[in-house]
Structure 1
Amino acid sequence: MTFFALSQTHPLRLLSATDLANECARLEGENAQLRRAVSSHAAVDQAIGALVVLGRIAPEDAWRVLRDVSQHTNTKLRAVAEDVLKFAQGGALPEPERDELWQAIERCRG
Structure 2
Amino acid sequence: MTDRRDVSSDERLLVERVVGVGDPLRVGWFRYRFGTHRWEWSDEVAAMHGYAPGTQPTTELLLSHKHPRDRDRLEAMITSVEDGGAFSSHHRIVDTNGQVRDVLVVSEPWRDESGAVIGTAGYYIDVTETAEEFRREALDTTLPGVLEARTVIEQAKGALMLVYAISAEQAFRVLRWRSQETNVKLRTIAERVVAELPKVAGDEVKLRTRLDHVLLTAHMPDSVKE
The structure richer in helix per residue is 1
Instruction: Flag the structure with larger Rg.
Output: 1
Q: Specify which structure has the higher proportion of strand.
A: 2
